[in-house]
Amino acid sequence: MTNPLKFDPAREEAIRERAYHMWESEGRPHGRAVEFWERAAELVLMEESGNPGQLPNPIAEGIDPSAPVGVEEAAIQENLGEFPGQLTDQGDVAPTPRPRKPRAKKPKTT
């Protein structure tokens, strides 16, 4: 699979051809060239990608899908002393600013 963001003249020609055939099949409507180009580009890129979202078949790999899956044992005892609060992951800092201490006034110079 090639990079879909990199310019490829063969891909551009395939998109142009697909867009033209789609435009003709819909009666050659005026002013919709961008729409047909985008639809054709999406279709061509889908064809190039080759099913990246398809999950592998576990039966074909010899894995029994009905077999029980092992579960990790929880490590509860390690965290008895700390009870997570609302801000634990953020460093337990209050969300509001702290009041400022009054500054000493500077003497006026004239």
**Is position 105 within any domain?**
no
Range of the domain at 43: 9-49
| Rounded Cα–Cα distance for residues 22 and 9 (Å) | 20
**Is position 104 within any domain?**
no
**Is position 68 within any domain?**
no
Residue 26 confidence (pLDDT): 93
**Is position 33 within any domain?**
yes
**Is position 87 within any domain?**
no
**Is position 98 within any domain?**
no
**Is position 61 within any domain?**
no
Q: What's the structural domain count of the chain?
A: 1
**Is position 14 within any domain?**
yes
Are 17 and 3 in contact by the 8 Å Cβ rule? The answer is: no
pLDDT tens-digit profile of 30-85? 999 999 999 999 999 888 877 766 777 777 777 776 777 766 566 655 555 555 55
Are 47 and 4 in contact by the 8 Å Cβ rule? The answer is: no
Residue 82 confidence (pLDDT): 56
pTM of the model: 0.46
